[in-house]
Amino acid sequence: MTEEMAYQEKPADPVFAGRIDILYALGRHYLSLPFAVLCVPATMIAGHSPSILPLMPLLLQLVVVIAAEQLTTAYKMRSPGSDPHFWAKRYTFVSAISGATWGMASVFWFVPGSFPAQAYLALAFLGMTATEFIARAAHRPAYVAHTLLALGPLVMLLVWEGGLYARCTALLTVLFATVLVSYCQGLARLLDESIHLRNENGQLVIRLQREKDDAINAREAAETSASAKTVFVANMSHELRTPLNALLGMGQLLERAELSKPQKDHVKVMLQAGRGLQTLIEDVIALTREDVHPSDDEDCDPLQAARVVARLLQPRAWEKRLHLTLSAAPDLPRVAADPRRVRQVLLKLVDNALKFTEHGLVDIRLDVTEDGRSVRFCISDTGQGVAPGVASQLFHPFSPGDISYARKQQGAGLGLAVAKRVIEQAGGEIGFASKPDQGSEFFFTLPVSGLVPKAARPSELEAQAAPPSGISVLIFLPIAAVADATAGMLEPFGNRVVRAGSQFGAQELASREHFDAIIASAGDADMLAAAPGIEAQLIAILLQGERAPASTRNVLRWPTTADQLYRVLEQICRAPEHREPQKAGAIDPVAFSTLEKSLGTKALVDILQCYIVTAEQLTGALTGACRDEKWDEAARLAQDIIGAAGGLGLIAITGAARDFARKAREGHNHDELRNAAQTIAGEHTRTRQALGHLYPDVA
């Protein structure tokens, strides 16, 4: 132990330590025993004098093997940080002892005068030496010590025997041992390289893990900082806006008061400066706020937003004697953006156009892009244009373009940066085209919020789309509430609705079964469209913050109405020639659509609530009459159910009640009548659930 502690004072070479690990790991000392066992019978046969002496070296080698295994066990249980040189020397010593036992055994097993026995012995020793090379080559001193002590006595015995063949065998043994010893150095070099690479990889993994932990900590610190900044911006927004609004309010009161002309001019300058400061504060807050989450209202009428902006800025145009015009393509679709943000961007761009235009006009144009997936807003003017030198910095904060003119117009250079941030957060693009002294054209695009254009959206006075019936639909939506609501729009009308719990399950179902349509989230629609074997039409439901998928034009933004879903299904679903029979719907979609159109939703809900109460009483009384075997009364109650449900288009329970009345008239047995009554109760439950899906107030 003292010697080992002395070795620990020296710094350990990690490469050498790894090589010693391999040395002990590959040590299989018992592998040479079969060669020793094979030497004993050959010696006995060739010597013609049976003796116990040839067995003595074999027993000695067993003792050495046991000692070597004990050394290997001690190495595995060594204390951490122990010096590898100490263990290398111990292994070399044991290897020398093992080799000495073989050398001593050669004296016992050598048969003078019998070259076949001598050649056999040399062959066994060479096989043993090659086997030991595998275990001891990682540390050449250990192998050299074993080989010299094991083969040296045999070589001397062969030389002492004399004769051509014996001396040639001795020379061959020496050559074989020399070649194996020379290989030790090359093998050790390869081991060193592999160990070095392994150590470097281990250090790299540790360093990457450390860097990952640092990155996670940095991200958490950044998120904390961003949260603190958001709180700070919110607080400053309140603290700055409140006194500024008070100052502007007092200034407006002074402007209306009876003041002298110099005093009114002073008040006018104060109001202009205050409004400029208010705009600057709003822009700074909008630019620095980390609020990238979508608004709750992400459905905007682009034409209505443009009209509001045009009305607000028309007095400004009249004041400068400019023409402010607005034109739009027919049937513009709605866009997926917050209406307030759309008006904010339009207000900044149109205000800039009016600010930097001295004569001519400012035109606002709205149209649909060529692919039909976006609405393009374009604001063109006949002003001074944008200088080429500042075009690349135009959308950067505090980059107001022509500095001299911008300062004259009191521009801070934040408006376009704010507009770019708002448009990109909404999933659109913004840009401009300009020539100096020939005007500018600023444009931005916003994605369409759905397939149904504004002109085609049904109003309260227009006919609503009839719900589909008898179609097969696969629903894969990640949010359970959205999936439940979507299924509730389809199940009451006898449609087959299958829900998938995972993307793999949805792909498997869609490729194995027939579906008229697949309703999926925007993120999963592209993946399902790329899956092999799926032929059904895809309908993508856009949740807040999602982009429209490229795989389908059938896009509906959530929350969507049942009428919008029905219209899309009506466009893409075609009745197949061969379709499996579906269970009849609880509700007749055509009759219900007519009732809702003629009565209105509120009146229809009141009627359905009364029906639910009446149907509960009638089905309960019918069950009791069947239990008491009052079949005439049961038949009358079934007719009452037909009268109550038939006029409302509740076809499932109406059909079940008619079947009961028919069986009662034809005198069917009591068991069949009881089963028919249970069918009525079951259809009543299904109808009530279907009505609850369509009109939550009914439940």
Query: Residue 50, exposed/middle/buried by CB under 10 A (0-12, 13-18, 19+)?
Result: exposed
Q: 281 and 236 in contact (C-beta within 8 Å)?
A: no
- CA pair distance 212, 204, nearest whole angstrom: 12
pLDDT for 376: 92
pLDDT of residue 411: 47
**Would you give the DSSP letter of residue 294?**
P
678 vs 562, more confident? 678
Q: What is the mean pLDDT of residues 420-438?
A: 82
Omega of the bond leading into 141 within 30 degrees of 0 (cis):
no
DSSP 431: E
Q: Which amino acid is at 556?
A: L
Rounded mean pLDDT, 75-84:
78
**Computed from CA positions of residues 546, 548, 552, 555, in that sequence, does the dihedral angle turn out positive or negative?**
positive
Q: Is 110 helix (H, G, I), strand (E, B) or coil?
A: coil
The span from the CA of 681 to the CA of 624, in Å, is 12
User: Of residues 346 and 396, which shows the higher confidence score?
Assistant: 346
Domains of the chain: 2-208 (no CATH), 302-447 (3.30.565.10), 459-583 (3.40.50.2300), 590-694 (1.20.120.160)
CB-based contacts of 297, cutoff 8 Å, min separation 6 = 338, 339, 340
- DSSP helix/strand/coil, 43: helix
SS3 410: coil
d(CA 638, CA 622): 7
Report the alpha-carbon distance of residue 395 to residue 418 in Å, rounded.
8
**pLDDT, position 470:** 77
pLDDT of 405 reads 41
Residue 433 has pLDDT above 50, yes or no: yes
Q: Say what the pLDDT of residue 636 is.
A: 82
3-state secondary structure 537-571: EEEEEECCCCCCCCCCCCEEECCCCHHHHHHHHHH
Please determine, for residue 529, whether its predicted confidence score (pLDDT) is greater than 90. Answer: no
Is the distance from CB of 522 to CB of 514 less than 8 angstroms? Answer: no
In the block, which residue shows the tokens 């009530």? 688
Can you tell me whether residue 176 is helix, strand or coil?
helix
The 10s digit of each residue's pLDDT in 268-298 is 778 777 766 776 666 666 655 554 444 445 6
Q: What is the pLDDT of residue 282?
A: 67
Taking the CA atoms of residue 250, residue 253, residue 255 and residue 259 in that order, the dihedral angle to the nearest 10 degrees is -100
Q: How many Cβ atoms are within 10 Å of 634's Cβ, its own excluded?
A: 25
Helix, strand, or coil (residue 365): strand
Which parts of 183-331 are beta strand (E)?
323-328
Q: How confident is the model at residue 646 (pLDDT cuts 50, 70, 90)?
A: low
Residue 519 bridge partners (DSSP):
475, 539
Cα angle at 363 between 406 and 386, to 5 degrees?
30
> What is the pLDDT averaged over residues 432-441?
81
pTM over 0.75: no
Secondary structure letter of residue 337 according to DSSP: S
Residue 546 has pLDDT above 60, yes or no: yes
Please give the C-alpha separations between residue 657 and each of 230, 237, 635, 672, in angstroms, as whole numbers: 64, 66, 9, 13
Structure tokens at 273: 């400066």
Cβ–Cβ < 8 Å for 520, 506 = yes
Residue 375: predicted pLDDT = 92
CA distance 379 to 415: 15
Q: What angle do CA 572, 573, 579 make, to 5 degrees?
A: 155
Cβ neighbour number for residue 124 with a 10 Å cutoff: 22
Q: What is the rounded average pLDDT for all residues in the chain?
A: 76
For residue 379, what pLDDT is reported?
Answer: 92
Listed as own residue / partner, the contacts of 46-53 with beta carbons closer than 8 Å and 24 or more positions apart are 46/111, 46/114, 46/116, 46/117, 46/120, 47/111, 47/114, 47/117, 53/108
Residue from 446, 412, 414 nearest 430 by CA:
446
Q: Can you say how many angstroms the Cα of residue 475 is from the centroid of all Cα atoms in its chain?
A: 20
What is the C-alpha to C-alpha distance for residues 29 and 696, in angstroms, rounded to an integer? 82
- Nearest of 332, 340, 345 to residue 297 by alpha carbon: 340
Spatial distance between the Cα atoms of 632 and 653, rounded to a whole number of angstroms: 19
Given a cut of 70, is residue 516 above it in pLDDT?
yes
Residue 159 has pLDDT above 90, yes or no: no
> What value, to the nearest 5°, has the Cα angle with vertex 516 and ends 514 and 519?
105
Place of tokens 């002298």: 260
Model confidence band, residue 140 (pLDDT cutoffs 50, 70, 90): confident
The residue to which tokens 């049942």 are assigned: 562
- Alpha-carbon distance of 8 to 78, in angstroms, equals 12
Lowest-confidence segment of 9-13, 307-311, 694-698 by average pLDDT: 9-13
Whether 46 shows a pLDDT value over 80: the answer reads no
Contacts with 579 (C-beta within 8 Å, 6 or more apart), sequence order: 470, 472, 514
Q: What is the torsional sign of CA 38, 43, 45, 50?
A: negative
Which tens digit of pLDDT belongs to each residue from 358-417?
888 889 999 998 888 889 999 998 888 777 766 666 766 555 554 444 444 444 456 777
Orientation of helix 670-694 relative to helix 601-627, angle to 10°: 160
CA–CA dist 151, 170 (Å, integer): 9
Contact (Cβ atoms closer than 8 angstroms) between residue 648 and residue 607: yes
Residue-level pLDDT at 377? 94
Beta strands 429-434 and 374-381: pairing type?
Answer: unpaired
Average pLDDT over residues 191-215: 81
Query: Within 13 Å and on the Cβ side, how many CA atoms surround 171?
Result: 7
Average pLDDT over residues 605-623: 81
- pLDDT > 70: percent of the chain: 77
Cα 470 to Cα 562: distance, rounded to the nearest angstrom = 16
pLDDT, average across residues 620-629: 86
**Both tokens assigned to 475:** 């629903």
